[in-house]
Structure 1
Amino acid sequence: MPPWLQLMQESLAPLLWAALVFTIPLTLASFVLGLALGLLTAVARLFAPRPLSDIARFYVWVIRGTPLLVQLFVIFYGLPSLGILLDAFPAALIGFTLNVGAYSSEIVRAAISAVPRGQWEAAYSIGMSWSQAMRRTVLPQATRVAIPPLSNTFISLVKDTSLAAAVTVPELFQTAQRIVATTYEPLILYIEAALIYLALSSVLSSLQVRLERRFARYGGFLEART
């Protein structure tokens, strides 16, 4: 067996373990929390009183206008100067959640705005409250519009978690860096890490296609009913 292939074989287990224990949980938790934050932010921008909508708009402006790596550094390395000490994983989780929340809020806001005004009026005409109309009529239709861009956000987040290595989270990429520090084979290890990211992204892309087809059928069902 060639030395490079043997090295890849020996490093595969720790790389996969890092992906399973840190990369995937960080991605899932950040996306779920970020999506919830994005929904609240989108609703605040569309329907909240002026002070709250301004705060939501300011949050989105700051996060979208600054690099994710800088945000992670501010949270992990900057906040201790204010007496706020965070471990690496929670700091990364907060950083990714805030980032996903800002970007997903724009997706959700656009999706809600894309629902025709007549759908709101139809919901109100049968006695629904605002929250009921949002939950039962508007959000199901907005979800179909938001699925493709949100799926792309999730796939990008998988790759963006490699930035957590900069704040000492022992995820997939930092594990590759640690192995490189002992083997002095950066090309082989970084290619192997890239292949794992590629495999994860490919699986998620396949799931995205299936999810979009399912919601397309659901959307056709809704249109047939109306």
Structure 2
Amino acid sequence: MINWQAFFNVELAQKALPIILEGLPYTLSLSLISFLLANIFGFIIALMKMSTFTPLRWIANIHISLMRGTPLMVLLFLIYFGLPFMKIQFDAITASIIAFTMMSSAYTSEIIRAALLSIDKGQWDASYSLGLNTWQIFKKVIVPQAIRICVPSLSNVLLDMVKGTSLTAMITVPDIFNKAKIVGGANSDYMTAYIVVALVYWVICTSYAIGQNYLEKRFSIY
């Protein structure tokens, strides 16, 4: 017979939730800041890969290849534990933001590049015929359409980033997963603590998914 009390302790879950939520600001700030920076750098990398200047394309391709081929945990450890041997020291939160930004920018750059290339080239010709210069066309015609195309894929990157922040517990960031580990260890009940933190992640991701649906509808109307 299954011991459900050992599987999920309701009393412990009620006590654990407030403690786990103490790490929520770290989880949210890490994911959102890194996502914003990843989009900025991803846009730049996408333009580099589309450039006719060969060295820029090489740099973009090398970055994308390295980041997509390296586990995030390895990158976190390299930045947090490895760089101090080169006299470069970052605190755990800064190291996490750098790692997430570097890793995610490789994926966002390909998403953005694909969206930009999907815009019909005839729109460039039509815009030039209206007297718009390249910057105006890019800003007012191409980018707004590309953003609408990017929303679903970029939302997936954000959701992966939220869940990936759990890895920062390995370098002492007091996020919600780190708090769950502490609660589980203190009460010798990791199962309950991990179920609670899994539900918290689910609520966060569901909230972001609702935001994604809103943006898709808004851009569709636009």
Q: TM-score when scaled to structure 2?
A: 0.94
Asked if residue 91 in structure 1 is aligned to residue 95 in structure 2, the reply is yes
Q: Give the aligned partner of residue 12 of structure 2.
A: 7
**For residues 115-169 of structure 1, what are the alpha-carbon distances to aligned partners after superposition, in whole Å with 9 as ceiling and x for unaligned?**
0101111222222222221111100111111111011111111111111111111
Q: Give the aligned partner of residue 117 of structure 2.
A: 113
Asked if residue 166 in structure 1 is aligned to residue 152 in structure 2, the reply is no
Instruction: Note the C-alpha offset of 1:173.
Output: 0.4
Deviates more, 1:78-87 or 1:123-132: 123-132
Corresponding residue pairs, total = 216
Q: Give the aligned partner of residue 211 of structure 1.
A: 215
1:169 aligned counterpart, secondary structure: coil
AA matched with 2:70: T
Instruction: Answer 1 or 2: higher relative contact order, Cα 8 Å, separation at least 6.
Output: 2
Q: Give the aligned partner of residue 189 of structure 1.
A: 193
Find the aligned partners of 2:29 and 2:36 in 1 and give their Cα distance. 11
Find the aligned partners of 2:76 and 2:144 in 1 and give their Cα distance. 34
Deviates more, 1:88-97 or 1:116-125: 116-125
Name which of 183, 187, 197 aligns with 1:179: 183
Find the aligned partners of 1:155 and 1:48 in 2 and give their Cα distance. 33
Find the aligned partners of 1:14 and 1:48 in 2 and give their Cα distance. 53
1:164 aligned counterpart, secondary structure: helix
Q: Give the aligned partner of residue 127 of structure 1.
A: 131
Find the aligned partners of 1:189 and 1:213 in 2 and give their Cα distance. 37
Structure 2: stretches of 5+ with no match in the other structure: none
Asked if residue 154 in structure 1 is aligned to residue 144 in structure 2, the reply is no
Find the aligned partners of 2:151 and 2:125 in 1 and give their Cα distance. 24
Find the aligned partners of 2:173 and 2:52 in 1 and give their Cα distance. 37
Find the aligned partners of 2:15 and 2:96 in 1 and give their Cα distance. 28
**For residues 18-66 of structure 1, what are the alpha-carbon distances to aligned partners after superposition, in whole Å with 9 as ceiling and x for unaligned?**
11x2000111100000100000000111125111121011101100111
Name which of 27, 34, 42 aligns with 1:30: 34
Spell out structure 1 runs of 4+ moving beyond 3 A: none
Deviates more, 1:32-41 or 1:129-138: 129-138
Find the aligned partners of 2:194 and 2:70 in 1 and give their Cα distance. 27
Instruction: Note the C-alpha offset of 1:187.
Output: 0.3
Name which of 49, 62, 65 aligns with 1:61: 65
Instruction: Note the C-alpha offset of 1:182.
Output: 1.1
Find the aligned partners of 2:143 and 2:21 in 1 and give their Cα distance. 37
2:23 aligned counterpart, secondary structure: helix
**For residues 179-202 of structure 1, what are the alpha-carbon distances to aligned partners after superposition, in whole Å with 9 as ceiling and x for unaligned?**
122111000000000000011111
Q: 1:95 to 1:48 in 2, by over 3 A?
A: farther
AA matched with 1:131: W
Find the aligned partners of 2:185 and 2:92 in 1 and give their Cα distance. 21
